[in-house]
Amino acid sequence: MSTQKPLLAEFPWDDRYRISATDDLLTPALVLYPDAIADNIAATVRQLDGDPSRWRVHVKTAKFAYTLRAYVDRGVRNFKCATTLELLLACRSGAADVLLAYPVMGANARRAREIAAQFPGVQISVLIENEEQLQQWRGSSLGIFLDINTGMNRTGVEQTRADHIVRLASAVRAAGLAFRGVHYYDGHLGNLQEPERSAVAHAGYDALLKILAALEASGANVPEVITSGTPSFPCSLTYAGLRGKPFVHRVSPGTVAYHDTTSLAQLPASFGYRPAALVVARVVSNPRPGIITCDAGHKAVSADAGVPTCLVLGHPELTPLTPSEEHLPIAVKDGAAGPRVGDAIFLLPRHVCPTVNNFDHALLVRDGQILSVETVSARGHEAPLLAAVAQPAS
């Protein structure tokens, strides 16, 4: 079994990504392309037989009110998120239904309840994996999803513990809370190449169906089943066992809004996806022959997914090396000229989600023209104290 994460080796330059006045840009700069975002949303909905309600998109990639509104305008109104700030943005942007897909505890849980009270017209749900977590939601209007550990070993109940899962569902109902369904995130499968990825994903879905059968046999009604982040999205489309069931099956890819070198390598070219978010950097040094350096270190383009952190569009002769905080050295292929000091270059991140989170603002660009400067609305986290206890500085 291969565990080498797919990585796009090259992506051709497209004149739709140009910017007419790069001399006026402070770099590094995050750039979003509205037409590409719209195309990627449409491409995903096409794979879902034209039904946007089958998509519970993850907000962690989007981060922008602009992008969430683009989803809503195209009929995508079911979301999931990881932070209370993302939850707040989704509620403000027209979401109908949001799952806080992170096991929040303590003050974070109280903040989620506050947001739910602030937006009574939005169906908000949370995840649990044990009865201790369940107790903090008693008396609230929030729905409850059971989180299943798919083998990622990050959160959730191990999928072999069907008895525990059934008891939890019963406890939810006994607590007077709404049991909304099951959350089954298999994001770790992105490390597998096809056909291994689909084979492992489908075996996991087989196990999931056994869990659902046990819940049904116990008398529990399962309204919704959520699977499939970006890498396993195609796997869910080819698994017939999740179709035609009494529950609603939704998928939750998020990276597809913008794309990066990893997701473009993982997903079929036939889906028609293209990059919608780039980082514009500037060459600042030529420290020795065969090396240039630009100003997009790991504080700009995230290095969490490894090196190289990005591709330089339109420059197959360039290979990004290990970054430092503000510097990204780039190897120039022997004999190639490469960009000169002062030139702007366009970087396609290896992992776009944390890259977006590195920026306070982004440019919206169409036909080479800057349309606006947008705030990265859900970057980071909310202020660390609940409003009820926060005091102004003396």
The reply to whether 5 and 104 lie within a common domain is: no
Q: 3-state DSSP call for residue 245?
A: coil
The reply to whether 112 and 202 lie within a common domain is: yes
Alpha carbon distances (Å) from 183 to 83, 112, 145, 156, 381: 17, 18, 6, 9, 23
Query: Closest Cα to residue 234, out of 285, 188, 268, 259?
Result: 268
Count structural domains, the chain.
2
pLDDT tens digits along 153-197? 999 999 999 999 999 999 999 999 999 999 999 989 998 999 999
The reply to whether 47 and 24 lie within a common domain is: no
- The answer to whether residue 135 is domain-embedded is yes
Identity at 179, one-letter amino acid code: F
Two structure tokens written together for 384:
């660390």
Q: How far is Cα 100 from Cα 147, in angstroms, rounded to an integer?
A: 11
The reply to whether 112 and 203 lie within a common domain is: yes
Domain boundary among 258, 282, 303: 258
The reply to whether 43 and 9 lie within a common domain is: no
Identity at 254, one-letter amino acid code: G
The reply to whether 252 and 278 lie within a common domain is: no
Two structure tokens written together for 279:
């980082």
CATH for 339:
2.40.37.20
pTM: 0.94
The reply to whether 283 and 371 lie within a common domain is: yes
Q: 3-state DSSP call for residue 312?
A: strand
Handedness of CA 99, 304, 63, 54 (dihedral sign): negative
User: Which residues is 288 bridged to in the sheet?
Assistant: 291
The reply to whether 24 and 42 lie within a common domain is: no
The reply to whether 300 and 172 lie within a common domain is: no
In percent, the amount of the chain with pLDDT more than 70 equals: 97
Two structure tokens written together for 389:
């206890």
CB 82 within 8 A of CB 382: no
Query: Closest Cα to residue 99, out of 69, 128, 127, 64?
Result: 127
Q: 3-state DSSP call for residue 68?
A: helix
Question: Can you give the pLDDT at residue 3?
Answer: 53
- The answer to whether residue 393 is domain-embedded is no
Give the per-residue SS3 of 112-162.
HHHHHHHCCCCEEEEEECCHHHHHCCCCCCCEEEEEEECCCCCCCEECCCH
- The answer to whether residue 296 is domain-embedded is yes
CB 79 within 8 A of CB 90: yes
CATH for 115:
3.20.20.10
- The answer to whether residue 386 is domain-embedded is no
Q: 3-state DSSP call for residue 377?
A: coil
The reply to whether 274 and 288 lie within a common domain is: yes
The reply to whether 223 and 297 lie within a common domain is: no
Q: How far is Cα 178 from Cα 180, in angstroms, rounded to an integer?
A: 6
Question: Can you give the pLDDT at residue 392?
Answer: 46
Task: Compute mean pLDDT per 10 residues along the chain, 394 residues long, and list them.
Answer: 67 93 94 98 98 97 95 98 97 98 95 96 97 95 97 94 96 97 94 94 97 96 96 95 95 97 95 97 97 98 96 96 98 93 97 97 96 95 77 45
pLDDT tens digits along 68-103? 999 999 999 999 999 999 999 999 999 999 999 999
For 88, residues 6+ apart whose C-beta sits below 8 A from its C-beta are 115, 378, 382
For 201, residues 6+ apart whose C-beta sits below 8 A from its C-beta are 186, 189, 228, 232, 235, 236, 239
DSSP H stretches of helix in the chain = 34-47, 59-62, 65-73, 84-92, 107-118, 131-135, 162-174, 196-217, 233-237, 261-266, 352-356
Q: How far is Cα 58 from Cα 48, in angstroms, rounded to an integer?
A: 16
* Cα 26–chain centre separation: 27
Domain with 2, as residue range(s), is 1-34+259-377
- The answer to whether residue 382 is domain-embedded is no
Handedness of CA 169, 170, 175, 177 (dihedral sign): positive
Question: Can you give the pLDDT at residue 55?
Answer: 98
pLDDT tens digits along 261-293? 999 999 999 999 999 999 999 999 999 999 999
Q: Cis (ω within 30 of 0) for the bond into 316? A: no
User: Which residues is 363 bridged to in the sheet?
Assistant: 31, 373
The reply to whether 206 and 285 lie within a common domain is: no
CB 10 within 8 A of CB 197: no
- The answer to whether residue 56 is domain-embedded is yes
Question: Can you give the pLDDT at residue 391?
Answer: 46
- The answer to whether residue 110 is domain-embedded is yes
- The answer to whether residue 113 is domain-embedded is yes
Identity at 111, one-letter amino acid code: R
Q: How far is Cα 270 from Cα 370, in angstroms, rounded to an integer?
A: 30
CB 159 within 8 A of CB 204: yes
Query: Closest Cα to residue 258, out of 104, 94, 20, 67?
Result: 67
